[in-house]
Amino acid sequence: MPEVQAPFRSLGALFDGVATEFRVWAPAHGSIELVLESGRLKAAPTTGHEHVRAAFGLPETRVLLRDADGYWSGRFDDVEPGARYKYRIDGDPARTFPDPASRFQPDGVHGPSEVVDPEAFRWTDRGWQPPALDRLVFYELHVGTFTPEGTFAAAIGKLPHLVELGVTAIELMPVGDFPGGRNWGYDGVALFAPARCYGRPADLCALIDAAHRRGLSVFLDVVYNHFGPDGAYANVFSPHYFSDAHRSPWGDGVNLDDDHSREVRRFFIENALYWVRDFHVDGLRLDATHALEDGGTPHFLAELSSAVQAHAPRPVALIAEDHRNLNGLARPVAAGGYGFDGVWADDFHHQARVHTAHDRDGYYADFTGSIRDLADTLREGWFFRGQPSRYLGHLRGTDASPLDPRQFVVCIQNHDQIGNRADGARLHHEIDPAAYRALSTLLLLAPETPLLFMGQEWAASAPFLFFTDHHDELGRLVTKGRREEFSGFTAFTDAARRADIPDPQDTDTFERSRLNWDERQRPPHAGVLRLYRRLLAIRNGHTAWAARARGDFAVDVLDDHTLALGFVRGPWLVVARLSGGAGTVHLSVTESIDVALTTEDADVVEAPQPIVASGGTTLRIEFTRPGAIVMRETPSPGLFRPRLSTMSSEGALTMAKKKTPHPPDSTSTSAAPRRRTTRRSSEAPPESVAIAADSNVDLPELEPTRDQIAEAAYQRYLRRGGQGGQDFDDWLEAERALRARR
């Protein structure tokens, strides 16, 4: 397969400030005409036939010319942005269709396309540097249900909430236009056109620009494995977009390795570059890459990642959704991989779901949900590494060790895992709130890259249901198919029970999925939100979660319900009891412990049942119900350097340290013996971070590093009692200032 030499722009209506060039791929047709239906021309024609047509508001037709590869094009200096147009195939008025690479569909996917000026928006993100990959915390959202208005513009008003929360990257569900006014986005058919129900292209630019001003990256979910069922006109212009050589869940596979596949690959690669170039997105998440079958060389995914790397004006991250657990997805192209930066790793979600909610239908049958298997998944990145899958009927997965922890994107909720449930129930709707808080702690402090789904940070009451807005005939089929797909599930073997599954076509199904932002301020939602903010402030403010490697953390099973996660840097220790009611666990430490937070703090839960930590080198932690405790071993700053964490032979997680001597004439008070903490330490940590010196050499005054300032803020928080309120708000304010500096 010859590699596509992707240009910056070639498909669609391309306005360059002087003229508009139209270009469409239609190799099997004898003629393609441009039909200008309405809009802006620089000057109305004044003579002849064109004058008569313009006077009566009739469409104007222009001839396009064909090249050797089947592309039809024409350049017209009198067509300006705002002009609306279609293409006519083989002179047949009944075969006049929108542009498959349209930049905007103001009247829906069946209406005329609109010429858009890509330079009209005035960006303010010059010099923008997105957070490093190891600092990503994703927040997945659906534009239509994220706010009451459901628009790009309205989403801008919620960006301060996301900054205060502590996420660093927004992941937008697909925004390519789709039929009707309600859709998840995976039925997209106009892949270059932001959905008109969310706003105009400039509104999406404004959202991304505003996110960058607030220090937030923006990733976009794109779908290249199929087109939606209604309004996909690409295949009308060329029959080569699909091939029966491969099958997918949606029918014939996208043609990536058959005749004419070079131009099909080019179409999707140009789409990826379009979002990066014209909309300044910082990354792309590719939907269901396992459905992109390609027997050619290079593989389409490797070619796409190479093209993005070569042609993007700045570094862009690529994330794959792929259930195969292939390490090659995230290995460099030069090393035989596909060059992606990360992969959605659902095994963590599945193990956690089985452990806490006891799901057994479908792919959950492959997972035990045992605390040992959950710990193994957390330790490795994914659970299936070549074992047989009963659900799939074949071996699944590859060795996870070639990948860094940050390359695995993990979650306890996402659009699929909620919306693909019959009732759209979120995890916190179905499990003990105490277990949800404990599992949230484990997610947000995991060595992998966490992803949140909108609203989970306050345990939103709204479900996220599957919704569509197709025409009546197709809509009836969608409703029927939606209900029939659950016939194999234990709870829905009865047809009457399946009839109760919400109708995707019902407007109420969509409206019920909107977030209720007012509830954030009320219990119990406010307490959960407070917990999420604290956990992310810890993650963002400390080096334990920076440049994470496999040797930087350890995971241990303490009993059938409880595991410990320890980080060498910091060092931090998380003990999470996910089930089982009351229980006591023991583990070994080598330094005194400060308790940073628990999921039973008084301002997190209305009727707290305290988690008690006591003891010396052997910690005793008592739970009365599921919960989590976050601790930090706190020798005086600058007096130790962490090394590899190890497991003790008894299975207790031990954090080993290497001491360095005091500098001569040190006035540090940490040389005095310090008592072990039973709950929170009453010691007053230093107001600022000390920097260890190995000699008496005078050092120049240096601006504190980001981590030193964050550490100082954290120590002030501990000194004030660590109970939240204004004290914690001070910490958050310091952390936001750090992020603004970054």
Whole-number Å distance between alpha carbons of 736 and 278:
29
Same domain flag for 465 and 589 = no
Q: What is the rounded average pLDDT for all residues in the chain?
A: 85
Classify residue 715: in a domain, yes or no. yes
By C-alpha distance, which of 232, 321, 337, 322 is closest to 284?
321
Q: How confident is the model at residue 707 (pLDDT cuts 50, 70, 90)?
A: very low
Q: What pLDDT score was predicted for residue 109?
A: 98
User: Per residue in 527-584, pLDDT tens?
Assistant: 999 999 999 999 999 988 987 789 899 999 999 999 999 998 768 999 999 999 999 9
Tokens encoding 191: 């892949």
Q: How far is CA 273 from CA 123, 269, 399, 456, in A?
A: 18, 6, 31, 32
- The CATH number given to whatever domain includes residue 40 is 2.60.40.10
Cβ 509 vs Cβ 491: under 8 Å: no
Tokens encoding 408: 């695995």
Classify residue 615: in a domain, yes or no. yes
Same domain flag for 450 and 477 = no
Residue range of the domain that includes 66 = 12-114
Same domain flag for 449 and 487 = no
Q: What pLDDT score was predicted for residue 665?
A: 35
Whole-number Å distance between alpha carbons of 540 and 595:
18
Tokens encoding 400: 């996870």
Tokens encoding 516: 């209720």
Same domain flag for 366 and 460 = yes
Q: What pLDDT score was predicted for residue 489?
A: 87
Q: Is a pLDDT exceeding 50 seen at residue 299?
A: yes
- Please enumerate, as own/partner, the contacts of 646-650 that have beta carbons within 8 Å and a separation of 24 or more: 646/554, 647/554, 647/556, 648/588, 650/588
Tokens encoding 685: 């940590």
Classify residue 533: in a domain, yes or no. no
Q: How far is CA 496 from CA 420, 477, 518, in A?
A: 19, 18, 36
By C-alpha distance, which of 533, 516, 532 is closest to 460?
516
By C-alpha distance, which of 611, 608, 599, 659 is closest to 633?
659
Most confident of 30-39, 500-509, 629-638: 500-509
By C-alpha distance, which of 636, 621, 614 is closest to 586?
621
- The CATH number given to whatever domain includes residue 220 is 3.20.20.80
Q: Is a pLDDT exceeding 50 seen at residue 682?
A: no
Q: What pLDDT score was predicted for residue 493?
A: 87
Tokens encoding 465: 């249901």
What average pLDDT does range 34-48 have in this prediction? 67
Beta strands in 209-322 (DSSP E): 217-222, 242-248, 251-254, 283-286, 317-321
Same domain flag for 330 and 390 = yes
Q: What pLDDT score was predicted for residue 3?
A: 57
Q: How confident is the model at residue 444 (pLDDT cuts 50, 70, 90)?
A: very high
Query: CB count, 10 Å around CB of 499?
Result: 10
User: Per residue in 374-387, pLDDT tens?
Assistant: 999 999 999 999 99
Whole-number Å distance between alpha carbons of 81 and 200:
13
Tokens encoding 441: 């702690």
Same domain flag for 71 and 151 = no
Q: What pLDDT score was predicted for residue 82?
A: 97
Same domain flag for 475 and 417 = no
By C-alpha distance, which of 149, 142, 206, 140 is closest to 178?
142
Q: Is a pLDDT exceeding 90 seen at residue 18?
A: yes
User: Per residue in 338-359, pLDDT tens?
Assistant: 999 999 999 999 999 999 999 9
Q: What's the domain count of the chain? A: 4
Spatial CB neighbours of 247, under 8 Å, sequence gap ≥ 6 = 253
User: Per residue in 76-89, pLDDT tens?
Assistant: 999 999 999 999 99
Q: How confident is the model at residue 41 (pLDDT cuts 50, 70, 90)?
A: low
What average pLDDT does range 512-516 have in this prediction? 98
Q: What pLDDT score was predicted for residue 661?
A: 34
Q: What pLDDT score was predicted for residue 308?
A: 96
Percent of the chain with pLDDT over 90: 73
What average pLDDT does range 459-464 have in this prediction? 98
By C-alpha distance, which of 320, 251, 313 is closest to 278?
313
- The CATH number given to whatever domain includes residue 562 is 2.60.40.1180
Q: Is a pLDDT exceeding 50 seen at residue 371?
A: yes
Q: What pLDDT score was predicted for residue 254?
A: 95
Three-state DSSP class for residue 606: coil
Q: How many helices (H) and strands (E) does the chain have?
A: 18, 35
Q: Which residues are catalytic?
A: 287, 321
Helix (H) or strand (E) holding 307: helix 300-311
Classify residue 634: in a domain, yes or no. yes
User: Per residue in 619-646, pLDDT tens?
Assistant: 999 999 999 999 997 653 332 223 323 3
What average pLDDT does range 382-398 have in this prediction? 96
- Identity of the residue numbered 403: L
Classify residue 2: in a domain, yes or no. no
Taking the CA atoms of 138, 144, 150 and 153 in sequence, report the sign of the dihedral they define: positive
Chain position carrying tokens 């003790």: 648
Tokens encoding 638: 């600058």
Q: What pLDDT score was predicted for residue 730?
A: 54
What average pLDDT does range 220-229 have in this prediction? 96
Count CA within 13 A, CB hemisphere, residue 261: 25
Chain position carrying tokens 């981590």: 707
Q: For the chain, what percentages of helix, strand and coil (3-state, to nearest 5) are there?
A: 30, 20, 50
By C-alpha distance, which of 524, 515, 533, 425 is closest to 141?
515
Of 82, 114, 146, the position where a domain reaches its end is: 114
Q: How far is CA 175 from the centre of its chain?
A: 14
User: Per residue in 169-178, pLDDT tens?
Assistant: 999 999 999 9
Whole-number Å distance between alpha carbons of 433 and 626:
9
Same domain flag for 260 and 223 = yes
Question: Is the bond preceding 524 in cis, omega lying within 30 degrees of 0?
Answer: yes
Three-state DSSP class for residue 598: strand
Classify residue 527: in a domain, yes or no. no
∠ CA 414-277-40, nearest 5°, is 110
Q: Is a pLDDT exceeding 90 seen at residue 739?
A: no
Q: What pLDDT score was predicted for residue 642?
A: 30
Phi and psi torsions of 234, nearest 5°: -55, -40
Three-state DSSP class for residue 630: strand
Count CA within 13 A, CB hemisphere, residue 161: 19
Query: pTM (2 decimals)?
Result: 0.86
Q: How far is CA 598 from CA 451, 527, 568, 654, 682, in A?
A: 21, 12, 20, 20, 17
What average pLDDT does range 457-468 have in this prediction? 98
Same domain flag for 508 and 631 = no
By C-alpha distance, which of 285, 288, 294, 290 is closest to 264?
294
Most confident of 8-12, 154-158, 685-689: 154-158
Q: What pLDDT score was predicted for residue 598?
A: 98
Same domain flag for 476 and 426 = no
Q: What pLDDT score was predicted for residue 40?
A: 61
- Calculated CA dihedral for residues 347, 353, 359, 365, nearest 10 degrees: 20
Cβ 677 vs Cβ 664: under 8 Å: no
What average pLDDT does range 58-77 have in this prediction? 94
Q: What pLDDT score was predicted for residue 716?
A: 55
Chain position carrying tokens 């809509």: 475
Same domain flag for 477 and 432 = no
Query: CB count, 10 Å around CB of 686?
Result: 17
Q: Is a pLDDT exceeding 50 seen at residue 13?
A: yes
Q: How confident is the model at residue 652 (pLDDT cuts 50, 70, 90)?
A: very low
Classify residue 120: in a domain, yes or no. no
Same domain flag for 350 and 276 = yes
Whole-number Å distance between alpha carbons of 41 and 36:
9
What average pLDDT does range 230-252 have in this prediction? 91
Q: Is a pLDDT exceeding 90 seen at residue 616?
A: no
Classify residue 119: in a domain, yes or no. no
Chain position carrying tokens 């996660």: 565
